[in-house]
Structure 1
Amino acid sequence: MSADRETMAVYEARAQDYAQAFGKDHKANPALIAFVAALPRDSLVLDLGCGPGAWARAMLDMGLRVEAVDASAAMVAEAARVPGLVVRQATFDEIGAEARYDGIWANFSLLHAPRAAMPAHLAALCRALKPGGLLHIGLKAGQGEARDALGRFYTYWEVADLAALLESLDMTWGHLRQGADKGLDGAVAPWFTLTARKT
């Protein structure tokens, strides 16, 4: 299954707009601070769906080694401007590493995957983590699947449903955070983030 064409078209056309709107310095973000603190020193992290690379830049600045992927060529081009960042174009289906990463940062990227595909994506991420590795995931809260005003595809998740998938992979989850923010489409939407540890 490839990335949703309409969603990718939005990111291809508006990569610079996205970078300007969401490319701030994230080093003071509580979720990122907790994620970095929970990892061994000099950990290797995968930034899944890295966008313009702002989160990856923060992780590099905080002492992590970072590999980044995004399905959008325009986003990869933006992220490639981050000094020291290893970045390549790839879809969720192309994550095939095994026991490579100490951590995976999937911050509001997997929300573009259809619900039916999520179990396979999470299983691949679990395989890509080293034993004891840490997954951060951010999703929009709610139910169902829909497109936003820009045409991007979203799957909305309840915490309990995501938690059940993680538990089925023998991952222990916690550090739940919830909020609501304005997106690229201008709409305010509820969200949650959590982390899951591979056993």
Structure 2
Amino acid sequence: MSDKETMQVYAGAAATYAEKFARIDDIDVDQFSDLTAFFDLLPDGGLVLDLGCGPGQWAAKIRTAGYRVEAMDASPEMADLAKEAFDLDVTVGTFDTLEAVARFDGIWANFSLLHAPKAELPRHLERIKTALKPSGAFHLGMKLGDGEARDHLGRFYSYYSEADLVGLLETAGFTVSRTRTGSSVGLAGSNDTFVILTAHD
């Protein structure tokens, strides 16, 4: 994510976002099932990258479950919050910063790649696949819908159907093992539908 307007929104709202959405003990049964599906594809003590970690709550949950964790976010403000709240070592960088080769046992991209333009998503998925070890696990959370748009806060979003995302993942060489749809209220206050996909190399 490097869209200037989106970055400005997160810079200004980082503390509010963390207060509302980064409580490590705030997890519902469906989110727990997302973690479980991801963990089922990981080796014991495996290395996981939280790609677009935000204020760090998911990286902290994954670490608490016994996995080694690295984290990356494009927002310096979010990275600082993750370091302060959860003592995470966070790299500040965009999706294009990911240059690892066969390093990670799993990559967790929970509602981060939705800020990438549609034209760029295929190459981001290629980078992710390259960064994963053989049989590596991939978690992807995206909003459902059509086209590209900004929310009333100014953040850029790309919207997809579940079938579109399954197709993009398969084209990139992934096998999708699980999908889940739902809805939730985010920072903008709107109740948005989403899809969670669990896949492996």
Task: Sort the TM-score into its range (normalised by shorter chain).
Answer: over 0.9
Structure 1 partner of 2:6: 7
Structure 2 partner of 1:157: 160
Of 180-189 and 78-87, the range deviating more from structure 2: 78-87
Q: TM-score, normalised by structure 2?
A: 0.94
Structure 1 partner of 2:71: 68
Pick from 113, 122, 127 the counterpart of residue 125 of structure 2. 122
Structure 2 partner of 1:147: 150
Aligned partners of 1:83 and 1:177: how far apart in 2? 28
Aligned partners of 2:64 and 2:100: how far apart in 1? 24
The 3-state SS of whatever aligns with 2:84 is coil
Q: Is the CA contact 2:174–2:200 (under 8 Å) kept in the aligned structure 1? A: yes
Aligned partners of 2:188 and 2:61: how far apart in 1? 25
Number of residue pairs matched by the alignment:
197
Structure 1 partner of 2:171: 168
Aligned partners of 2:193 and 2:121: how far apart in 1? 20
Q: Is the CA contact 2:50–2:59 (under 8 Å) kept in the aligned structure 1? A: yes
1:16 aligns with 2:15: yes
Query: Residues 43 and 84 from structure 1, CA distance in 2 versus in 1: closer, same or farther, beyond 3 angstroms?
Result: farther
Aligned partners of 1:170 and 1:37: how far apart in 2? 19
The 3-state SS of whatever aligns with 1:81 is helix
Q: Is the CA contact 2:175–2:199 (under 8 Å) kept in the aligned structure 1? A: yes
1:38 Cα deviation (Å)? Answer: 2.3
Structure 1 residues 140-186: Cα deviation after superposition (integer angstroms, max 9, x where no partner): 00110000010000000111111111111221012100001001010
Residues 75-114 of structure 1 mapped to structure 2, 5 A cutoff: 75-114=78-117
1:82 Cα deviation (Å)? Answer: 4.4
Structure 1 partner of 2:37: 34
The 3-state SS of whatever aligns with 2:101 is coil
Structure 2 partner of 1:46: 49
Q: Give 4+ residue runs of structure 1 displaced > 6 Å after superposition.
A: none
Query: Residues 180 and 27 from structure 1, CA distance in 2 versus in 1: closer, same or farther, beyond 3 angstroms?
Result: closer
Aligned partners of 1:14 and 1:83: how far apart in 2? 19
Amino acid at match of 1:45: V
Amino acid at match of 1:9: Q
Of 83-92 and 150-159, the range deviating more from structure 2: 83-92
Of 23-32 and 71-80, the range deviating more from structure 2: 23-32
1:81 Cα deviation (Å)? Answer: 1.8
Q: Is the CA contact 2:166–2:176 (under 8 Å) kept in the aligned structure 1? A: yes
Q: Is the CA contact 1:136–1:194 (under 8 Å) kept in the aligned structure 2? A: yes
Gapped runs of 5+ residues in structure 2?
none
1:85 Cα deviation (Å)? Answer: 2.3
The 3-state SS of whatever aligns with 2:96 is helix
The 3-state SS of whatever aligns with 2:200 is strand
Query: Residues 83 and 14 from structure 1, CA distance in 2 versus in 1: closer, same or farther, beyond 3 angstroms?
Result: closer
Structure 1 residues 18-66: Cα deviation after superposition (integer angstroms, max 9, x where no partner): 0011012256622012212321100100000000000011111110111
1:78 Cα deviation (Å)? Answer: 0.4
1:86 Cα deviation (Å)? Answer: 2.1
